[in-house]
Structure 1
């Protein structure tokens, strides 16, 4: 049945769409549109359903990506990807964890739509240049050129980080304990010298409009947010988002603030704080991700 084939490939299709769009909501829209197209086709005429569905989702995601470009240029303050709650096993797949990390998703935002599609399909999911050419309507030679250009761009801007793990979560827990005690020096000791804090409020809640850099400034910013955005009844939950250790701040049963932590060498190198309620409304469900069993480069 068409529905069974689509359901079987859904984790892979969602992962591709999300990495191309940086939005779980937009990825779900793409999957809905793709399913409608798939349901209109006789499955018996499709030799390789997964390859067919990947092509459909890629094309729909490219259309979406071009449509949202202007919307993101008008976004109020810093833009961060819509966070997705990830299962612990995502951290065991280094390529997958890095590809959905906040830092990598921000790098992917700087690529044009074709470059992003080619990089995601080839370097993350392991599709050949010929397979990608059939998906985006370009020649194989053109895809090779796009892949080379996109890879150079990404490698020049990528940040090292450690996927979610027990060790990484211990660093986060130490940071939150220091923050709760108000110890500035203890906070700074857990931060890398070039640490970056990015907040996304979307103009709907109070959030820093620009990235904050440096140990002292980030430490004081975090303490300020904790004073103004939390109460004695605020519940802090430890989990993983985008393959990174994260903390959820829940006020009166409502998720108010989500912070994903980028860690390298036992120090926090990046804090990604999402407060835009539009990006938090679906942040509770764990998203199953899948690379389809392909072998790719080792980061």
Structure 2
């Protein structure tokens, strides 16, 4: 197998690692591209395990990139949400079956980049602490400490969501179209939270909206004011049910739903066009 063939096979894996750490497909692609360019400049004859070497380079470069993104997020208008991945579509650019749930990607934003990397490697990719230590150039004890701090912050969330009935999205849309607020409230958990991300480039709620009645009013209001005449497509984002709202042939909004015990506990409304371009 030629070197270019090896890189072609590895690129989706490398991008998947980078995406999970960065929370951005665009940044993940930049990280992988930068690493490959640096790798090409190395004396590769002395590198025995190319795959492991490249994964290590990508993970560490992604951690550094995430530190920059964290600083940029401080000045971000409103809430910053991860860039979604449409997990139903075939795309050679990323290993979609390995993509973590969207709700977990949001939770991971509470961690610092190194805690995040340790959590992902241990919990999602089954690395041992000795392997993580080798990748991050730290001691195994520190890896354990970082994982413990991460779990103290976000608990032990599921890597993948519960199975959602196929009829869920159709039922939700039917309720919106009927205008029945009581039926909509019945679909929502009493502790529901809705988070929106417009990035200052599209209208969106600046702060999270809490509670059944407030979120129901938000969702019904958005539909009747802006989306009643839109083309609405059902799908999945990061393994969780989502609705894609099109005006003409332009995707303007993606709403992702998180369910617990059959009710919606979280909605993530992504309107920043920069985060929607890879869903088209």
Q: Indicate the structure whose relative CO is greater, using CA pairs within 8 Å and at least 6 residues apart.
A: 1
Whether 2:161 is the aligned partner of 1:162: answer yes
- Counterpart contact for 1:246–1:258, Cα < 8 Å: yes
User: SS in structure 1 opposite 2:269?
Assistant: strand
Q: Report the counterpart of residue 280 of structure 1 in structure 2.
A: 276
Q: Report the counterpart of residue 246 of structure 1 in structure 2.
A: 242
Whether 2:173 is the aligned partner of 1:172: answer no
Residue 226 (structure 2) aligned to one of 229, 232, 244: 229
Q: Report the counterpart of residue 125 of structure 2 in structure 1.
A: 125
Q: Report the counterpart of residue 113 of structure 2 in structure 1.
A: 113
Residues 117 and 159 from structure 1, CA distance in 2 versus in 1: closer, same or farther, beyond 3 angstroms?
Answer: closer
Find runs of 4+ consecutive structure 1 residues off by over 3 angstroms: 41-45, 158-165
Alignment of 1:181-260 (within 5 A): 181-232=178-229, 234-260=230-256
Deviation at 1:39, TM superposition (A): 2.4
**Does 242-251 or 212-221 show the bigger shift?**
212-221
Distance in 1, matches of 2:256 and 2:186, equals: 19
- Counterpart contact for 1:80–1:102, Cα < 8 Å: no
- Counterpart contact for 1:88–1:164, Cα < 8 Å: no
User: SS in structure 1 opposite 2:81?
Assistant: coil
- Counterpart contact for 2:116–2:150, Cα < 8 Å: yes
Q: Report the counterpart of residue 289 of structure 1 in structure 2.
A: none
Distance in 2, matches of 1:118 and 1:104, equals: 14
Equivalenced residues, count: 274
Structure 1, gaps ≥5 residues long: 90-94, 285-299
What TM-score do the two structures reach when normalised by structure 2?
0.90
Distance in 1, matches of 2:186 and 2:89, equals: 27
Deviation at 1:154, TM superposition (A): 2.3
Distance in 1, matches of 2:187 and 2:212, equals: 9
Q: Report the counterpart of residue 78 of structure 1 in structure 2.
A: 79
User: SS in structure 2 opposite 1:222?
Assistant: helix
